[in-house]
Every structure is written in C-alpha cells, then in structure tokens.
Amino acid sequence: MIEVRTLSKFYGKKSVVEDVTVTIQPGKITSFIGPNGAGKSTLLSMVSRLLDADSGEVLIDKSDVRKLKSQDFAKRVSILKQSNYMNVRLTIRELVSFGRFPYSKGHLTEEDERIVEQSLEYMHLTEMQDSFLDELSGGQRQRAFIAMVIAQDTDYILLDEPLNNLDMKHSVQIMKILRRLVDELGKTVVIVLHDINFASVYSDRIVAMKDGRVVRDGPTEEIIQSEALSEIYDMDIPIREMDNCRICVYFNS
Amino acid sequence: MRNSMKMTILSLIAAGCCILYLFHDLNGSFDYALPRRAIKVIAMVITGFTIAYATVVFQTITHNRILTPSIMGLDALYLLLQTVIIFFLGSAHLIVVNKQVNFLLSVAVMIMFALLLYRFLFKKGGQSIYFLLLVGIIVGTFFSSISTFFQVLIDPNEFQIVQDRMFASFNNVNSDLVWIAIIIVGLVIIYAWRFVKYLDVLSLGREMAINLGVPYDTIVKQMLVIVAIFISISTALVGPITFFGLIVANLSYQFFKTYKHKVLISGAVVMSVIALVGGQWVVERVFTFSTTLSVIINFIGGVYFIYLLLKERKTA
C-alpha cells in the first residue's frame, strides 16, 4: 500500500501539489486523471523520489520513503517517465538488463539472466532483443522500457503517461499488458492518463486531480459519472454504456 | 572485432610507445638518461589517466560529449594563481622556485575552489548541473581576464616565467612531484573504485538512475569532487591540458561503441598514454624540441573538435 500524506510542492509561491492525501490500494490499477497542470506528474515524481516534497510524507508498506535506502526502494517501486531520451546507444536486451541493477549492480547472475529472458518473453521482445532502441517505433520502445520495469521486479509500478505519442493499437496493447501485470503477477500499477476512456475501461480505481488537489478518489464506476467529470474538467461529458464499458463522449460537448 | 581484442591491441601499442620512448637512441646511458626518461613516462601516464578518467566521468554526468572539465574554470584558476604569485612575489620567490611547494599550493587552491563552488551550488539542493557549468564558465572567464590584466602589467622578464606555465609541458617534470601525484591519484582511485558501477546507470539519465536505485545527488557530488582532484593534479603537474581529454574520450566512444564505462575509461586511458608518450617521442626526436606537445595536441584537438561539432549537427 502506498500512502501519501499531506504532500505539497511549491515552485516559488505557486503551489503545484497542495496538501494531497491519498491511498493507493495494492493489487489494483489506479489511474490519475485531471486537466493539464493539475499536478499529477509532480505527485508521481514525488512518490517515486524523483522530486523532493516540500512538506508531507509518502509511506510505502508503512515505511517512510525518505528513510529507505535508494537500492531497497528500487526493489519495491519503479517509475517510468514520459520522455526517455538517452544519449547512449543500447539494445533492447541491454536496456532490460539494467532493470536488474538494484539487485546485482551490473554483474548479472544466472538468476538475473533468467529474469531478463522472462521479461523479454512477457513483452514479446525476444526475437528483436538485439535491435537498438533508436531503431524502434514508439510502441516497441515503450514495450522495451516496460520490459525493463518488469525485470526490475517491483511490487509497485508507476507510469507517467505511457500512452503518450502511441497510436490506438499500441495504446490498447500497453494497457492490456498493464492489466495482465496486475491480474497475473499481482503488481500494483499507478498510471497517469489523459484519455479518460482508457482510464474508464482498464482501471480499478481513479484519482482525479485539479489545481494541485485531489477532487475525487474512488472506484472507477463512481468517478466515470457525468456529474463527477463535469466537476473535474469543467465541461459537460455524457457517458454511454457499450459492451460493459462506460465510454465518455466528450468530442462534441 | 571484439572489444577485448581492441583493448589488447591498444595496450600493446601503448606499451610499444613507452618502450620506444625509453630505449630509442639511448646509447647505453642507463644511469643518466633512462631514469630521467622513466620519470617523464610516469608523469605522462599519470596525466593521461587523470585527464581521461575525469573527462569521461564529467561527460557522463553532464550528458554531453563535447564538454571538458575545464569548463569549471580550474585551469583558468591555475593560471591566475601562477600569475598572481609571480606578479606579487617575483619569480625568485620560494613558491615559484620550489616545485613541491608550488604543486601542493596549486592543487590545494584548485580543490578548495571546486569544493566551494559545489557547496555554494548544491546547498539549496535540486540545482541543475547546467547551472554549475554556467557559473563555472563565468568564473573561469573572470579568472582569465584578471590573469591577462596582471600579465599586461608584469615585468617582461617575469612574464617569460608565466608564459612557461601557460602551456603544458613534459620536458622538465620534477621527479618528487611525480611520486606525490602517484600517491594522491592512487588513494583517490581506491576511493573512487566503488562508483564505477554507477556510471553506466548514470548515462541513462537522472530519472532512470534514481529509478534503478542510484543515490543520484550523493554520487554526482562525489564524482565531481574526484574530477576536480584529478584535473587539479594533472594541471599542477604539467600545466593546462584538459582539452586533450576531449579527444581521447571521444575516440574511445567511437572506437568501442559501448555504454560500459569500464571499457570506455580504460580505452580512453590507454589512448591517452599512446598519444602523450608517442607524441612526446615525436616532439623530442622528430621535431627535436622545436615545438611542444601541447601545441600539437591543441592543434589536432581543435581540428577534431570542429569535426565533432559538424558531425553532431548532422545527427541532431
């Protein structure tokens, strides 16, 4: 369980995240939604220690994040940001092997090699494992990074807009993989999403943020309601039920 | 060709250069010439090692392959220090004449400066590394301007001494300094050894490094201190020569095409030994001292730098 308690972040006098308290349930997909500049990515960065919070605390399974050693933290929580630009040239396999760094510090054991193999298998990358990352399409790249996170073998996986710049097919592919990670491997996935329909179809819980604060937090069915969404996005969003999915029809509202 | 093969060949060439330099045209002067040459070779190996190591590490930390640690203004500070000492105390003063005192003073001042700079910049926390570089450039330019100011005022005879310090030279390296440098560098290597494994991960970027459990801020701070110590030692030993690191680091990237820093750093070190020892041999036996190694290095380095800039522009 990840518990965020009264977390705040200020840039100068402007608050980006203000007094956020939220609990992330284990074994579920939790989506963070909300308008641009709501503080979703900043919150995720603070939970994953990429950014220092100005006040408040984050507890992972009851232990304070700041008191954990970097290495132990990296065995429990992994984070994938939206842009993964690197100026080194790596193959998919080399990248995925980096996922084992918190365990083996660069000297891969047989056990590590086996896990890397499995992660590649899981993401259907085994055949192209020796291709270089800069030769891949956006979808393949994203899969390679997720394979690395799988190799890192953490209970909690945080993703910041993993569907950015992906087409429909690849977006669905990535979301299905995340669903499998939760259902088959028992991981906890926290994800920042812009497409509320993906959030509606694939997540168990939704946390909605606006102006640096959490405005709604609950099971998906409770949040994907016209009344709740209009409060979050300041627009009228009709909802249609199709094939057991609740779809938001916001394109012409 | 496999990388281990490449490394073996390079090491053989480096060893060949050292042997050539030591024994070519020795005329049986084992007691006089050989020890002198040996001291020079050791000095060149230390310089090559420190510059190569510092540059590769610095470029990994800054994610930029056309920067050298000289951007932090350490060699500008060295020149300023030498100029100021000679200006105020005169070229006959102990600090100028006694090489050990001068060496230790220079190293101490440069390291103090680097630590002050880091402390000042990292105190607030979360400051960007680029801010550090920017301050470094400004302070470095400031130091150079002050040096020039003093150099214009200085007595022409004294200026000769200053000018002597402005270019790196292996021609009269003091043997005592070499031993002091070896001890300091050795201690730092023992300390720095544990960080090598983090370098590969650091090259993936800050966020990836933190995700993979690298205590980023602590590691980067300590690496920068090590870079400053190495640069200070090589500068105080032979003079400003950091530009040289740019060449060997990039040659190593191009030659080995890997992300593994153990390979990259060893490659850069071996290449710098080849360039320094081989180059010094050419300067002494082919040009018969009519030029200095640093002039040749700056010339070749400059051409290579332009090539790198043009190449980077194409790929971007």
Q: Do A98 and B208 touch (CB under 8 A)?
A: yes
- Cβ contact A88–B203 (<8 Å): yes
Residue type, A143: R
**Which chain B positions have a beta carbon within 8 Å of A92's beta carbon?**
none
Could you tell me how far CA A148 lies from the centroid of its own chain? Answer: 14
A52 closest CB neighbour out of B126, B206, B208: B126
pLDDT at res. B118: 85
Contact residues, chain B to chain A, C-beta under 8 Å: 63, 65, 125-126, 197, 200-201, 203-208, 210-216, 257, 259
Look at residue A87 and tell me whether its pLDDT is greater than 80: no
Residues of B in contact with A48 (CB under 8 A): 210-211
Give the residue among A212, A211, A194, A205 at the shortest CA–CA distance from A248. A194
pLDDT at B221: 86
Residue of A66, A88, A152 to mutate, testing the B interface (most B Cβ within 10 Å of its Cβ): A88
| Rounded mean pLDDT, A86-115 | 91
Inter-chain contacts counted by CB atoms under 8 A, chains A and B: 62
Are A222 and A214 in contact by the 8 Å Cβ rule? The answer is no
| Nearest CB partner across the interface for A106, out of B200, B207, B208 | B200
Which residues in chain A are contacts of B211 at CB distance < 8 A?
A: 48, 50, 74, 78-80, 152
Residue of A nearest to B219 (CA): A70
pLDDT in tens, A146-177: 999 999 999 999 999 999 888 999 999 999 99
Question: What pLDDT score does B124 carry?
Answer: 62
Query: Does the ipTM surpass 0.95?
Result: no
- Which of A192, A214, A175, A145 is closest to A45 using CA atoms? A192
Can you read off the two tokens belonging to residue B136? 């470094």
DSSP, res B1: -
Considering the entire predicted model, what is its pTM? 0.89
SS3 B173: coil
CB-nearest partner of B259 from A48, A90, A101: A90
Which regions in chain B score pLDDT beneath 70?
A: 123-127, 315-316
- Residues B19-41 have pLDDT tens digits of 999 998 888 788 888 988 999 99
Q: What is the pLDDT of residue B125?
A: 57
Confidence of residue A58 (pLDDT cuts 50, 70, 90): very high
Q: What is the per-residue pLDDT for A32?
A: 95
Taking alpha carbons only, the member of A211, A160, A192, A210 closest to residue A14 is A211
Query: pLDDT value at position B100?
Result: 87
**Averaged pLDDT score across all residues of chain A:** 91
Mutant choice from A16, A52, A54, A87 vs B, greatest count of B C-beta within 10 A: A87
Contacts of B311 in chain A (CB under 8 A): none
> Residues of A with CB below 8 A from B197's CB?
105-106
Q: How many CA atoms lie within 13 A of A98 on its CB side?
A: 30
Asked whether the predicted pLDDT for residue A211 surpasses 70, the reply is yes
Distance from CA of A101 to the nearest CA of B (A): 6
Is B207 close to A81, i.e. CB distance below 8 A?
Answer: yes
Per DSSP, the residues of B183-251 read HHHHHHHHHHGGGHHHHHHHTT-HHHHHHTT--HHHHHHHHHHHHHHHHHHHHHHH---THHHHHHHHH
pLDDT in tens, A234-247: 988 999 998 888 99
DSSP structure string for B49-115: HHHHHHHHHHHHHHT-TT--GGGGSHHHHHHHHHHHHHHHH-TTSHHHH-HHHHHHHHHHHHHHHHH
Domains annotated on chain A, with CATH: 1-76+156-253 (3.40.50.300), 84-153 (no CATH)
Q: Which residue of A has its CA nearest to B59?
A: A87
Break chain B into its structural domains and give their ranges: 3-315
CATH hierarchy code of domain B3-315: 1.10.3470.10
Interface of A with B (CB under 8 A): 48-50, 52, 69-75, 78-81, 84-90, 94, 98-99, 101-102, 105-106, 152
Closest CA of chain A from B126, distance in Å: 8
Q: Does position A189 have pLDDT exceeding 90, yes or no?
A: yes
pLDDT at A89: 86
Q: In chain B, what residues touch A72 (CB-CB under 8 Å)?
A: 213
Q: Pick the residue with more confidence: A83 or B252?
A: B252
Contacts of A102 in chain B (CB under 8 A): 212-213
- Sort out which chain B residues have CB atoms less than 8 A from A152's CB and list them: 211-212
Q: How many helices (H) and strands (E) would you count in chain B?
A: 15, 0
**Nearest chain B Cα distance for residue A109, angstroms:** 15
Residues in chain B: 316
Distances (CA, A) of A162 to A144, A158, A178, A208, A231: 12, 10, 10, 18, 25
In sequence order, the 6+-apart residues with CB closer than 8 A to the CB of A234 are A35
Distance CA(A46)–CA(A4), nearest Å, equals 10
| Predicted local distance difference test score (pLDDT) of residue B60 | 92
Q: Do A88 and B259 touch (CB under 8 A)?
A: yes
Write the CA distances from A62 to A1, A3, A20, B131, B300, integer angstroms. 8, 8, 17, 37, 59
